[in-house]
Structure 1
Amino acid sequence: MHHLKKAFFIALGCVSLALGTIGIVLPILPTVPFYLLTAFCFANSSERLHDWFIHTTVYKKYIGSYFRRRGMTKKAKCLLIGTVTAIMVPGFILMDKVPVGRAIMLVVWVGHIFYFGFKVQTITQQEADEAMAEALED
């Protein structure tokens, strides 16, 4: 069972890494949440993959400051919440005959707003730049 769990997390981590990387050039896909999921999956599956990922430039550039300072800039929060909202609205509209689906989407959306709006610390752009510089030095 342990091997199945490990394989699941590795596969999910690879998929989220691919989607996050596509999100760099395709603005409809949010990069940061996918990279956060990648870090979580690799940390729970393979120490080697996790070590590799945290030393990549994409990790350091997109989520390194979050992990170092436990915060995001107001601009990053707004962009993240806006992207999640833009992705969820069409699905919400199309689920007009599936009230349970709409309810689930609403809970997920409110969860994003609450977590990123109130739980994640807001840092200044200077603090984010310093954290990114520190991450790139490592």
Structure 2
Amino acid sequence: MKIVWIIFGTISLLLGIIGAFLPILPTTPFLLLTAYCYGKGSEKFHSRLVSSKIYKKYIKDCVQERAMTLKQKLILLVFVSFLSIIFMIIYQNILIKSILSLVILGHVIFFGFYVKTKKNKSFIFLELLRK
């Protein structure tokens, strides 16, 4: 079973790396999934991920502090909502539409109320200018 976790983690890592370069594909959720999968599958892979630059840049704060920048939250929510709405249009099944609506609602609630919003450095700079 550990090999399955490593395979899913590697696929997720590749999608996360691609997302770092393509603005339409979010990086953070794929890297969070990678960290989870590697944590379940292999301590070696998990340790390598945690010590990498991509981890430190995109998801370290999210994992340790449960905080994301407003930009990260918005990109994530727009991407999930966009994909869900596309599938709602494609599939005319009311059950699928209901489930996808709940997924969107769940993401909005989770990222709106349970994940803290980290202040961006530019916002801090503007607040210092006001004082």
Taking every aligned residue pair, what percent have the same amino acid on both sides?
39
Letter in 2 for 1:71: A
Is 2:17 the partner of 1:27? no
Residue in structure 2 matched with residue 101 of structure 1 by the alignment: 96
> Given that residues 16 and 38 in structure 1 are in contact (C-alpha distance below 8 angstroms), is that contact kept between their aligned partners in structure 2?
yes
Q: How does 1:1-138 map to 2 (within 5 A)?
A: 5-96=1-92, 98-126=93-121
Query: How far apart, CA to CA, are the structure 2 residues paired with 1:27 and 1:74?
Result: 16
For residues 89 and 102 of structure 2, the distance between their equivalents in structure 1, rounded to whole angstroms, comes to 15
SS at match of 1:44: helix
Higher RCO, Cα 8 Å, sep 6+: 1
Q: RMSD over aligned Cα, in angstroms?
A: 1.3
Per the TM alignment, residue 27 of structure 1 is displaced from its structure 2 partner at its CA by 2.1
Q: Deviations over 1:36-55 (max 9, x none)?
A: 00000001110000000011
Runs of 4+ in 1 over 2 A off after TM superposition: none
Number of residues paired by the alignment? 121
Tell me the secondary structure at the aligned position of residue 46 of structure 2: helix
| Structure 1 runs not aligned, ≥5 long | 127-138
| TM-score, normalization by structure 2 | 0.85
Partners of 1:55 and 1:42 in 2: how far apart? 13
